Amino acid sequence: MPEIRVTPLGAGQDVGRSCILVSIAGKNVMLDCGMHMGFSDDRRFPDFSYITRSGRLTDFLDCVIISHFHLDHCGALPYFSEMVGYDGPIYMTQPTQAICPILLEDYRKIAVDKKGEANFFTSQMIKDCMKKVVAVHLHQTVQVDDELEIKAYYAGHVLGAAMFQIKVGSESVVYTGDYNMTPDRHLGAAWIDKCRPNLLITESTYATTIRDSKRCRERDFLKKVHETVERGGKVLIPVFALGRAQELCILLETFWERMDLKAPIYFSTGLTEKANHYYKLFIPWTNQKIRKTFVQRNMFEFKHVKAFDRAFADSPGPMVVFATPGMLHAGQSLQIFRKWAGNEKNMVIMPGYCVQGTVGHKILSGQRKLEMEGRQVLEVKMQVEYMSFSAHADAKGIMQLVGQAEPENVLLVHGEAKKMEFLKQKIEQEFRVSCYMPANGETVTLPTSPSIPVGISLGLLKRELAQGLLPDSKKPRLLHGTLIMKDSNFRLVSSEQALKELGLAEHQLRFTCRVHLHDTRKEQETAVRVYSHLKSVLKDHCVQHLPDGSVTVESILIQAAAHSEDPGTKVLLVSWTYQDEELGSYLTSLLKKGLPQAS
């Protein structure tokens, strides 16, 4: 029995370390290869020994697909390909391919240079890893090999984020990666066609959240920033360098312009300018509005947003600072946070999701005394605000996507178990499909029953279609043919053609039955009586009286002859082939009953 198997090595009932193994029709595909921000030990990377303990990964995986550039989706890639060892193809979109190595390098620097980790992947390894990448364009069907094909759809989560369809023959799986169903200030909404996959693997970060309109959230955000700045406070917005940061910059930029505000907006890290440059070059990946107007005004050229210098953090007066990383787990955002945390005039706005174990997660869950490195305790007096700006689909969006793709089964990843449970029920109720939510290392097996494509000879098909125009639900017509199987070539042809092709002669099986009739008249007259009798009984059949005196019913021949001994008896010779067996047999029994008396 063919089946589809799915095993999450990461992101199973969890957010972070996305890595999902899929086996479909004998092909093995790894979806994403992320790191976990909540761990700094072995658990930060997926356990690739699950795939094979001894053999080479290349022999076990047909391809690897990366959905977008966030580290929890690609952070383990150089480790996986260069340190564990994988030489097969790695597919991702072009923006992902461009931005991913930069974030990996950033990640490596923090891990090695700042935290002093040994045995981490090197810059060279990132380069070597990226050489194995094959760029995929939206909607392009990429033939991984003769049977396995993949196709990318727009996901709208970050620049270049994609959902992937993995297809072998008539079986398919769709993996959403992270996606967003509502267009925002710089990206469009995710979209997929009604591709009816056997399985849809969807993220479920906001499985239980239904977010209010984006406009309200934006207004809220601006209000809070404005209030803080007005009272002379500092606003820290921890972000990832690419993605939400650009959206919020666009938002503040226009607000500052409209309100004519003077407080400086800074963007930390040297990445900004470069990041914005990527957005300018990958305009086709942004939303409709930006694409339409980019010639007149490139939205990613900011007037009010300036580069941040570490010294600015201690400057007096109000300011807004975007700093990386977004979950306050390391780097500049954490440094600034420590400096500003003690002042209640200040504010930190967390615009995205924070995984467990990060400082971001801790303060969001209400913790106000944080244990820092070296047993220091940091008291958080600044205001902590959470604004869901991260571009994940909410419950409504997830349901919308399931409705769009019409999958036979749904599997949830990239979310918290409790919330998944709720969404699972909702999906099962609304769409009447099975929904799964495996934990890491747990395998879901779905039996599939793929149909078998064969070639039908057009002659046979047309003959059938021509006759089948009148549908009769009670008595469906049967198509009769011969399936010729030669190697892997399957063809369905008419029986005649099958015989001809195989060089076989048809064997004619014919029957001739003698039916004795009591009739004193001449043979010719008997024939006429037979003709009129059959004509009256068989109204739907073609009954003919031929000039030579014989009678035919369809292709059955009836001849009348004198009896050699008894002149009062006539012999009817009824002759038919095996193909007319039913009718021939019926005629003999009918004639045996005798003819009605001539009136």
- Using the contact rule CB under 8 A, the part of the chain among 37-45, 139-147, 212-220, 396-404 near other proteins is 139-147
Exactly one of 505, 564, 567, 599 binds other proteins (CB under 8 A); which one? 505
Q: Is 436 helix (H, G, I), strand (E, B) or coil?
A: strand
Distance separating alpha carbons of residues 92 and 65, to the nearest angstrom: 6
Site for other proteins in 310-369 (CB under 8 A): none
Cβ proximity to other proteins: between 367 and 579 the closer is 579
Binding mask 392-431 for other proteins (x = CB under 8 A): ----------------------------------------
Exactly one of 365, 429, 451, 564 binds other proteins (CB under 8 A); which one? 451
Closest CA to 330 of 354, 366, 306: 354
With a CB cutoff of 8 Å and minimum separation 6, the contacts of 475 are none
* Token representation of residue 220: 């809220």
Does residue 203 have an active-site annotation? yes
Residue 457 engages other proteins in binding (rule: CB under 8 A) = yes
Q: Is 413 helix (H, G, I), strand (E, B) or coil?
A: strand
Exactly one of 311, 452, 466, 470 binds other proteins (CB under 8 A); which one? 452
- Using the contact rule CB under 8 A, the part of the chain among 182-190, 300-308, 378-386, 481-489 near other proteins is 481-489
Residue 194 engages other proteins in binding (rule: CB under 8 A) = no
Residue 470 engages other proteins in binding (rule: CB under 8 A) = no
Distance separating alpha carbons of residues 129 and 488, to the nearest angstrom: 37
- Using the contact rule CB under 8 A, the part of the chain among 13-21, 111-119, 315-323, 464-472 near other proteins is 464-472
Computed on alpha carbons and rounded to an integer, the radius of gyration of the chain in Å comes to 38
DSSP string, 230-297: HTT-EEEEE--TTTHHHHHHHHHHHHHHHHT--S-EEE-STHHHHHHHHHHHTGGGS-HHHHHHTTT-
- Using the contact rule CB under 8 A, the part of the chain among 23-31, 59-67, 243-251, 500-508 near other proteins is 500-508
* Token representation of residue 279: 């957005």
Site for other proteins in 79-98 (CB under 8 A): 94, 97-98
Residue 162 engages other proteins in binding (rule: CB under 8 A) = no
Q: How far is the CB of 490 from other proteins (least distance, A)?
A: 8
CB 37 within 8 A of CB 327: yes
Residue 146 engages other proteins in binding (rule: CB under 8 A) = no
Exactly one of 297, 502, 547, 599 binds other proteins (CB under 8 A); which one? 502
Distance separating alpha carbons of residues 203 and 308, to the nearest angstrom: 34
Exactly one of 112, 498, 528, 557 binds other proteins (CB under 8 A); which one? 498
Site for other proteins in 369-398 (CB under 8 A): none
With a CB cutoff of 8 Å and minimum separation 6, the contacts of 83 are 121, 125
Distance separating alpha carbons of residues 193 and 404, to the nearest angstrom: 6
Q: How far is the CB of 438 from other proteins (least distance, A)?
A: 26
Residue 466 engages other proteins in binding (rule: CB under 8 A) = no
- Using the contact rule CB under 8 A, the part of the chain among 61-69, 223-231, 450-458, 525-533 near other proteins is 450-458
Exactly one of 124, 140, 315, 536 binds other proteins (CB under 8 A); which one? 140
* Token representation of residue 83: 């340190």
Q: How far is the CB of 102 from other proteins (least distance, A)?
A: 9
DSSP state of 85: I
Exactly one of 477, 522, 596, 598 binds other proteins (CB under 8 A); which one? 477
Cβ proximity to other proteins: between 311 and 466 the closer is 466
Cβ proximity to other proteins: between 443 and 449 the closer is 449
With a CB cutoff of 8 Å and minimum separation 6, the contacts of 425 are 435
Residue 528 engages other proteins in binding (rule: CB under 8 A) = no
Closest CA to 22 of 152, 148, 170: 148
Cβ proximity to other proteins: between 18 and 96 the closer is 96
Distance separating alpha carbons of residues 266 and 261, to the nearest angstrom: 14
Cβ proximity to other proteins: between 376 and 488 the closer is 488
Distance separating alpha carbons of residues 550 and 536, to the nearest angstrom: 17
Distance separating alpha carbons of residues 68 and 284, to the nearest angstrom: 16
Q: How far is the CB of 474 from other proteins (least distance, A)?
A: 10
Site for other proteins in 199-238 (CB under 8 A): none
Torsion, Cα 59 60 65 70, to 10 degrees, reads -100
Closest CA to 522 of 564, 558, 569: 569
Site for other proteins in 165-184 (CB under 8 A): 170
Binding residues for other proteins, rule CB under 8 A, total 85
**Residue 482: CA count within 13 A, CB half-sphere:** 11
Strand order in the sheet with 265-267: 305-307, 265-267, 319-323, 234-238, 347-350, 383-386
Exactly one of 310, 430, 592, 596 binds other proteins (CB under 8 A); which one? 592
Site for other proteins in 543-572 (CB under 8 A): 554
Exactly one of 217, 491, 521, 563 binds other proteins (CB under 8 A); which one? 491
Site for other proteins in 507-526 (CB under 8 A): 507-516
Residue 191 engages other proteins in binding (rule: CB under 8 A) = no
Residue 50 engages other proteins in binding (rule: CB under 8 A) = no
Cβ proximity to other proteins: between 383 and 550 the closer is 550
Q: CA distances (Å), 579 to each of 507, 511, 573, 584, in order? A: 11, 11, 18, 9
Exactly one of 134, 216, 372, 465 binds other proteins (CB under 8 A); which one? 465
- Using the contact rule CB under 8 A, the part of the chain among 80-88, 259-267, 325-333, 504-512 near other proteins is 504-512
Residue 137 engages other proteins in binding (rule: CB under 8 A) = yes
Which phi and psi angles does 36 have, rounded to 5°? -105, 125
Q: How far is the CB of 494 from other proteins (least distance, A)?
A: 9
Residue 537 engages other proteins in binding (rule: CB under 8 A) = yes
Q: How far is the CB of 36 from other proteins (least distance, A)?
A: 27
Closest CA to 320 of 421, 436, 191, 233: 233
Exactly one of 119, 478, 547, 599 binds other proteins (CB under 8 A); which one? 478
Q: Tell me how crowded residue 116 is: count the other CB atoms within 10 A of its CB.
A: 8
Q: Which of 82, 149, 171, 203 is catalytic?
A: 203
Distance separating alpha carbons of residues 327 and 385, to the nearest angstrom: 13
Expressed in angstroms, the distance from the first to the final Cα of the chain is 69
Which phi and psi angles does 3 have, rounded to 5°? -155, 165
Distance separating alpha carbons of residues 78 and 127, to the nearest angstrom: 9
Distance separating alpha carbons of residues 345 and 166, to the nearest angstrom: 51
Kindly list the catalytic residues: 203
